[in-house]
Structure 1
Amino acid sequence: MSKNLVIVESPAKAKTIEGYLGKDFVVKSSYGHVRDLPKDDMAIDIQNGFRPVYEITPDKRQVINELKKLAKTAEEVWLATDDDREGEAISWHLKEALGLRDDTKRIVFREITKNAILNAIDSPRRIDIDLVNAQQARRVLDRLVGFELSPVLWKKIKSGSSSALSAGRVQSVAVRLIVEREREIDGHKAKSSYKVTAQFIVDGGKVLNAELPKNFPTADEARAFLEKCRNAIFTIRNLETKPAKKTPAPPFTTSTLQQEASRKLSFSVSQTMTLAQKLYEAGKISYMRTDSTNLSQEAINKAKDAILAEFGERYVHTRQYKTKSESAQEAHEAIRPTDFSAKKASGDRNEQRLYELIWKRAIASQMAEAQLERTTATIGISTTPEELIAQGEVIRFDGFLKVYMESTDDEDEENKGMLPPLTIGQVLHLDTMKATEKFTRPAPRYTEASLVKKLEEMGIGRPSTYAPTISTIVKRQYVVKEDRPGQERAFKELTLKNREISEKNGKENFGSEKAKLFPTNMGMVVNDFLVEYFPDIVDYQFTATVEKDFDEIANGRIGWQEMIRNFYGGFHQNVETVQGSALTASKTGSRELGIDPRTGKNVYAKLGRYGAFVQIGEATDDEKPQFANLRKDQLIETISLEEALDLFSLPREVGFFEDKSMTIGIGKFGPYVKHDDKYVSLGKEDDPYTILPERAIELIQQKRAETAGEALGEFEGKPVSTGKGRFGPYIKHDDKYISLPKGETIGSLTLERAVELIRQKRETETNKFIREFPENPSVKVVKGMYGPYISIGKRNVKIPKDQDPAALTLEDCLRLAGEPAAEDKAPAKRATPAKKAVARKK
């Protein structure tokens, strides 16, 4: 057995590290955390200093048993989990679960390279109990909040349900930010003004764009300005050219990587972290959970060498960045490549795209500033003292821009182009001047990236918490992430051309959203409840202060139990007060909208066990009220009486097709159009309340085309036909069924494409088996989704990792499956009915 056992938390990490260490080391994975608080119990002894009661998680019992066996035979055990609080806690839990000594060696590294691993082996330390306690404090505090507060939400808000609602420090604050932004947007009253822009034609037919630096509040004032310009002479009154420079952004921290990957690559926060984890475990980048912008001197030197080799001396400008966050650990590094000379990191497309982003940002941070020249032209108007301004920018030396330019959340940011040649006193020919009505806009809704940025600015959460926080609030249906179409709005535009002023009314689409976070009715009700009855939990300053307390624990300045005690007393008292109050679910998330003019009954918008709904009438013994579900984009607090009554308009008849009526309704599987006693689902983009007859007919015809089975022709002398079954559209040939790939329809299918799919299916089936045995056809070695296995009769047997599937013999397969060899098998004697009867009597 090996002298040294190294334990990491990831199998991919274990494989990479094992390649760097010699034969005296074996590297095994714990597969993440091995102990935790039980799910169905608080498991915290509040009376005895908030002592947590941990258990080995059920799925890790076998892992722990295997590690125990290895640890007993090893001369030395090395704990090599990640270099942060979470990793420190995993090492401590491993020590406790495996019964290791207190002086068990703990090694840390920020990148998985040979030098980093060997240096870590040369300088081991012990487990840092302060870091463990900081993570333990976070876990205990979050368990106390969740375990005590969630039942209050079940009872007071969504009676009868205990699975969907939960509360937590960071997740509740994140929901509050989204809810408050939604209300800010809803309360925004757009104000219009008129922006004046002009286009001049200069020598050589080049265009000079300019604008008035102020807007006019009304159309009359804008028209008056254009009138002044009707017969005006325009001249270049002043030209001002100033040198400018751009400085590169620092290398990535966890949050800036999440933000930039969202903006540039359209990755979700969790997708970014999953890809970064894989790159780290493969030894391609440094550790991906960090709030430091610092780079080691070794990394700076390697970046310099790469810049010199590719771009030359002029492009080198090494610098060290200082992290703004007070809690940042400068001993840690920013996210960077482990090898700056490597441009390719993975065969996976998205991993490669993320790696390139990290490489460019890190390289650019050590490159020279970009040298610019900004020119401002002031254009005088002979008939009025107002002046127009034209601006342009020229890059004199690209510097770091040769590699990378940071993106921003500012949707209005424009890259200013170069101005045509101009001279002071030059007379300009006006081509067109426009005064266009513009509207003020509210603050934008949060994307995942901008929410992470906001949380970080407020000091709420830490690098490891952002991805799970966003996943949790979406999973709990407090928030939805989706695209939403905009609305149409009219605007006015005045145009001066050839000394004539014309006016036109146009239409524009505004408010369209792409991958934005919207609060749900449930999210708004839960947020309001917490704000009113548990203000500390959703208080921004309080939540940020708790994070600082965790930092103090990590630095050994305060005890974790003391910190928990200071929080728990008031919190627990508040929980008991609210639990015992007369507050009921009917007082939360309910709003009276007015009177239904048809029935004269009250109309309410409410939150129920299955979501938000509208109710007409009261629930009494004599009469049952009418109910209708809110649409996904409607909120209890903003829906109007008219909008609520519209929800009762379904089912509705939209017209006739083939002399039969078409009815729109909403059923168990969503909105539909019913025609000739058949139901056709509406598309995601179709609104059942506004859909037109033409669209309903189109959907009916599409459904017919997809479901109609028809012969396409022949292949190999046998018919090829199509149809639609339980699992979707298919091709049938030679009594075999081949499903159509996603995105393809029966209506667009040709015989050539069908034959191509038949051949692909055959090839897949042929390559499915790694090995077959003619002497025993019931035994096969098969490629599976989760690895190779032996198929023997109706049983599947997993093949051990140390066995080569392609080299297995029939005898090997029978042995691994626990079957006797063919020659050892005796034919089974079948019991007769008489013998069975005797056995039953016995």
Structure 2
Amino acid sequence: MSQSLIIVESPAKARTLQKYLGKNFTVKASVGHIIDLPVKTLGVDIANDFAPQYVTIRGKGKIISDLKSAAEKADQIYLAPDPDREGEAIAHHIAEFLQSKHKPIRRVLFHELTKKAILAAIDQASEVNQQRFEAQQTRRILDRLVGYQISPLLWDKVRRGLSAGRVQSVAVRMVCEREQAIEAFVSEEYWSIHTTLEGKTPPPFVAQLDQAYGKKIDLKKNKIGTDAEAQAIVEAVRDASFLVESLEKKKKKRNPSPPFITSTMQMDANRKLRFSAKKTMTLAQKLYEGIELGAEGPTGLITYMRTDSTRISNDALEEAREYITGAFGKQFLPAKANIFKTSKSAQDAHEAIRPTDVRNTPEKLAPFLEKDMLALYSLIWKRFLACQMAPAEYDQTTITLVAAQNFVFKTVGSIMRFPGFMALYEEAVDEPGDGAEGENAALPDLKKSDTVSLLAIEPKQHFTQPPPRYTEATLVKALEENGVGRPSTYASILSTIQEKEYALLVQRKFMPTDLGKLVNELLVTHFPDILDIEFTASMEEKLDEVEAGNTQWLKVLRDFYGPFSKTLDAAKEEMKSVKKTAIPTELPCPLCAGKMVIKWGKNGEFLACENYPECKHTQDFTRNDEGKIVPVNREQPAESGELCEKCGKSMIFKNGRYGKFLACSGYPTCKNIRATTTGVPCPEAGCTGELIQKISKRGKVFYSCSQYPKCTFALWDKPINQPCPQCGSAYLLERETKKGGRQLHCPNKECGYTKKIGEEE
């Protein structure tokens, strides 16, 4: 019997597929991309038609060998990474490694991981989509050309470690420009007039002034601007009779929102669950790839989560309608399935984000999903079912009243007649306002020309508000509306601008840092096209054209790079260094009469005295919930209890670039330093060194021999100077995992000894 090999990018996805496919299929995972552009160099041969210079990703050599070995044993090969551009690139690169004249290599697109969908996708296997791969590669090269050529310029002019990005820098610009609008905003006073009225029958109700002297109250053209104006109106109507001029009754409907696409899922998860876009996508990826459901094994619970299409398959529509009828009743089911329009730029090969089986209710899955994953699944499940339910129906009554001939008051009341989809789900809003007073209040039974009594009148003072800062939800919405980035990039954009310290979240809203403002100003000045929102959106459209086969990828790169290279050359000459630039603050220096200023060093922002070099005081700082600077006192170096072998003074603990170390307290007279030791002798035969703690260039703690480079022995797990009680090994290792917590285990693999820390022997 023939044997088939399926290659996916995720081990979790591989486990789910293997459950459904059986013994005739071997499922292997590439664990993401196997090759990429090099980390330390540009990796693009500009002179040779922008040829990408791919290298094997570190640690992927063994995976490639395993895939080749599995391919040799298979009769046919299916490449099934995710059904998007990144997945197409992974498939393309794997196909190049596995090239075979005798075995067919086919591309499979899994939009959901159910048995029916998996078998159907294998039956519909096709070729690797060259145009989709070229669109991904073009984006990758564009991002590399921008990022790897502008970033070094920022290192030179501002500080090392900064980065610029074709899309990320536009997002920073949007955050900065919103902050500029807030800072430039001049608040204006205005007043509103509210009355409490009562007819012949209860209940009392509230009406608000809508017109005065024949003109509608309007913030721009006709506002009540002062207390005196408000009091004049109050006095004019205080003793007047209020006459019902008109009653307008309307039957209204509210339709459900479309099913989730990537952006709307990120927005609603941020509003309702307070999840970051990155967290939402991480959880959604796990739900798509498969979760262990007890005896059922790994099961894919949602469709593919990177999509901009609201399309729903006919099978899913039928399942939803059947479930709604059974769970809610026929009155909650519209006569026909609700069909939603998809944007022109959407890739309609995908479906919307939905549960793979509506019978997997949140209650049913609760024992198998951790809290946050269950919350996101519940959101997706409810949104999908709600989108196929009947609209909500309510009666809306608008009452218009006249007082003292010159003043018109209005009130609106709504009564829900049928909840429809709102019985299950209601979309969250970005900035909840005060709402119209009486919007959902009960109103008395009134008729035209009825007279009502004034119980109370109250003028209320207000001030116009600046535009709000972006939340994660509203920034994703703005990026989408402006065509900046694509569904697959929003989460990484929002994470990057925070990681690079260009913006921070203050009370869940983005505020640009001083560094972000400075870098944005430099980039907008010297790279106006790259930072232009419309230009960035047009590049996204060109990438779509490449995927559609309507334009050549090389043409896109050539058209972009000509003008960009000239702008880059000019910026290298004209951009001024701001390394010595300091941002003033009102904080006093604790050592002199000067003020503290914000400067940048290799470890980020810090406070320094403006009187440097006369005063050398520096201080770390954080920001509070309002974004204001809060100085942080540095910890005093801790005594180690050891003496310096060179001068006899005490040794103290200090933190450096590569971790904690011992330094002489006599610095700078004595510059003796030592690494902190674990007390565990190096286990390498013949070595007299000890294992010491270090930190890698990527910030990860590891332990290596003090005799390096003479001895290269190293460990990731922390060595503990304690013999193994089972095999007598001279030391144990400490490790922490999500499932097992903190554990001690023996370095001898044949021993297998483990013990939870804190557990009795």
TM-score by length of 1: 0.70
**1:517 aligned residue:** 510
Measure, in 2, the Cα distance between the counterparts of 1:321 and 1:559.
35
Deviations 1:793-825 (A, max 9, x none): 85253xxxxxxxxxxxxxxx55x89xxxxxxxx
Aligned pairs for 1:43-192 within 5 A: 43-100=43-100, 103-158=104-159, 161=160, 163=161, 165-192=162-189
Distance in 1 between residues matched to 2:92 and 2:314, nearest whole Å: 31
Matching residue of 2:270: 262
CA offset digits 1:177-230 (Å, max 9, x no partner)? 000000100111110111111223456763312111235111111111111222
CA gap 1:189/1:134 in 2 versus in 1, 3 angstroms: same
Correspondent of 1:199 among 196, 201, 205: 196
User: Could you tell me which amino acid in structure 1 is paired with residue 415 of structure 2?
Assistant: V
Structure 1 residue 96, shift from structure 2 partner: 2.2
Task: Tell me which residue corresponds to 2:289.
Answer: 281
Alpha-carbon distance in structure 2 between the residues aligned to 1:347 and 1:117 = 23
Write the letter of the residue equivalent to 1:299. A
Number of the residue aligned with 1:551:
544
- 2:361 matches 1:343: yes
Secondary structure of the corresponding residue to residue 286 of structure 1: coil
Query: How many percent of aligned residue pairs carry the same amino acid?
Result: 38
Alpha carbons 2:146, 2:165 under 8 Å: kept: yes
Q: Which runs of 5+ in 1 are unaligned?
A: 484-514, 648-664, 671-772, 798-812, 818-842
| Structure 1 residue corresponding to 2:555, chosen from 562, 571, 583 | 562
Give the SS at the match of 2:258: coil
Judge conservation of contact 1:294–1:320 (CA < 8 Å) in 2.
no
Q: From 243, 250, 253, give the equivalent of 2:258.
A: 250
Structure 1 796/272 Cα, relative in aligned 2: closer, same or farther at 3 Å? farther
Q: State the 1:351 CA deviation.
A: 1.4
1:667 to 2:633 alignment:
yes
1:376 matched to 2:398? The reply is yes
Structure 1 residue 613: deviation in Å?
5.0
Amino acid at match of 2:425: Y
CA contact (8 A) 2:175 2:512 kept: yes
**Matching of residue 392 in structure 1 with residue 413 in structure 2:** yes
CA-based RMSD: 3.5
Are positions 1:453 and 2:461 aligned together?
no
- Alignment check: 8 A CA contact 1:530 1:538 kept: yes
Residue 218 of structure 2 corresponds to residue 221 of structure 1: no
Residues 592 and 56 from structure 1, CA distance in 2 versus in 1: closer, same or farther, beyond 3 angstroms?
closer
Amino acid in the other structure paired with 2:267: Q
Paired residue for 1:38? 38
* Structure 1 partner of 2:645: none
Per the alignment, residue 316 of structure 1 pairs with 333
What TM-score, normalized by structure 2, do the two folds share?
A: 0.77
Q: In 1, Cα distance between the equivalents of 2:474 and 2:635?
A: 34
Note the 1:676-755 alignment, pairs <5 A.
none
1:538-617 equivalences under 5 Å are: 538-581=531-574, 583-585=576-578, 607-609=599-601, 610-611=604-605, 616=610
**One-letter identity of the residue aligned with 2:412:** Q
Structure having the higher Rg: 1
Residue number in structure 1 paired with 2:684: none
- 8 Å contact kept, 1:210–1:390: yes
d(CA) in 2 for partners of 1:388, 1:479: 45
The residue aligned with 1:785 is: 737
Residue from 341, 346, 364 that aligns with 1:328: 346
The structure 2 residue matched to 1:209, chosen from 206, 211, 214, is 206
Is 1:420 equivalent to 2:443 in the alignment? yes
User: Retained in 2: the 8 A contact 1:616–1:626?
Assistant: no
Does the CA contact (< 8 Å) of 1:82 and 1:109 recur in 2?
yes
CA distance in 2 between counterparts of 1:793 and 1:257 reads 42
- Spell out, residue by residue over 1:341-383, the C-alpha distance to the aligned partner (whole angstroms, 9 max, x if none): 22134421221111111111111211212222110112232x3
Shift of 1:65: 1.9
For the structure 1 residues 209 and 528, does the alpha-carbon distance in structure 2 shift closer, same or farther, using more than 3 Å as the test? same
Partner AA of 2:42 in structure 1:
M
TM-aligned CA deviation for residue 176 of structure 1: 0.3
**Residue 469 (1) aligns with residue 523 (2):** no
Amino acid at match of 1:442: P
The separation in 2 between residues aligned to 1:237 and 1:557, in whole angstroms, is 62
Deviation at 1:539, TM superposition (A): 0.4
Distance verdict in 2 for CA 1:248–1:604, change over 3 Å = same
User: Of the candidates 433, 438, 442, which is equivalent to residue 466 of structure 2?
Assistant: 442
Distance in 2 between residues matched to 1:41 and 1:529, nearest whole Å: 24
**CA separation in 1, counterparts of 2:240 and 2:140?**
72
Q: Distance in 1 between matches of 2:408 and 2:473?
A: 40
SS at match of 2:174: helix
Indicate the residue corresponding to 2:682 in structure 1: none
Distance 1:2 1:174 in 2: 51
* CA positional deviation for 1:173: 0.4
In the TM superposition, residue 578 of structure 1 has moved relative to its aligned partner by 2.1
Distance 2:425 2:510 in 1: 28
Report Cα offsets for 1:739-760 as digits up to 9, x if no partner: xxxxxxxxxxxxxxxxxxxxxx
Where 1:472 maps in the other structure, the secondary structure is helix
- Tell me the SS of whatever aligns to 2:737: coil
Counterpart selection for 1:354 from 376, 389, 405: 376
Aligned runs of 1:751-830 on 2, under 5 Å? 785=737, 794-797=746-749, 813-814=750-751
* 1:637-674 CA-partner distances (Å, limit 9, x unpaired): x99xxx9xxx9xxxxxxxxxxxxxxxxx842249xxxx
Distance in 2, matches of 1:132 and 1:265, equals: 35
Do the aligned residues in 2 keep the contact of 1:601 with 1:616 (CA within 8 Å)? no
Rounded to whole Å, the distance in 1 between the matches of 2:260 and 2:521 is 36
Looking at structure 2, the residues matched to 353 and 602 of structure 1 have their Cα atoms a distance apart, in angstroms, of 52
Preserved CA contact (<8 Å) 1:616 1:627: no
Instruction: Label 1:135 to 1:100 Cα distance change in 2 as closer, same or farther (>3 A).
Output: farther
Q: In the comparison of the two structures, how many residue pairs are matched?
A: 632
Compute the displacement of 1:253 (Å): 0.6
Q: Distance in 2 between matches of 1:782 and 1:187?
A: 55
Q: Given residue 208 of structure 2, which amino acid in structure 1 is its aligned partner?
A: E
Tell me the distance in 2 between the aligned counterparts of 1:632 and 1:593: 13
Aligned residue for 1:231? 239
Indicate the residue corresponding to 1:429 in structure 2.
453
Amino acid across the alignment from 1:313: K
Distance 1:304 1:220, change over 3 A: same
Are residues 575 and 201 of structure 1, via their aligned partners in 2, closer, same or farther at CA, if it must alter by over 3 Å?
Answer: same
> Is the 1:592–1:602 contact (alpha carbons within 8 Å) kept by the matching residues of 2?
no
Q: Distance in 1 between matches of 2:577 and 2:491?
A: 34
Aligned partner of residue 301 in structure 2, secondary structure = coil
| Highest RCO, 1 vs 2 (Cα 8 Å, sep ≥ 6) | 2
SS in 1 for 2:355: coil
Matches of 1:796 and 1:430 in 2, distance apart? 87
CA distance 1:669–1:295, shift in 2 (3 Å) = farther
The 3 A distance-change label for structure 1 pair 529 and 351 is same
> How far is 1:447 from its partner?
0.5
The separation in 1 between residues aligned to 2:34 and 2:579, in whole angstroms, is: 43
Runs (5+) with no aligned partner, structure 2 = 211-216, 218-222, 291-299, 637-723, 754-761
Letter in 1 for 2:284: A
Question: SS in structure 2 opposite 1:212?
Answer: strand
Could you tell me whether the CA contact under 8 Å between 2:595 and 2:610 is conserved in 1?
A: yes
1:411 aligned partner: 432
AA of the residue aligned to 2:498? V
2:121, 2:67 → 1: CA distance? 22
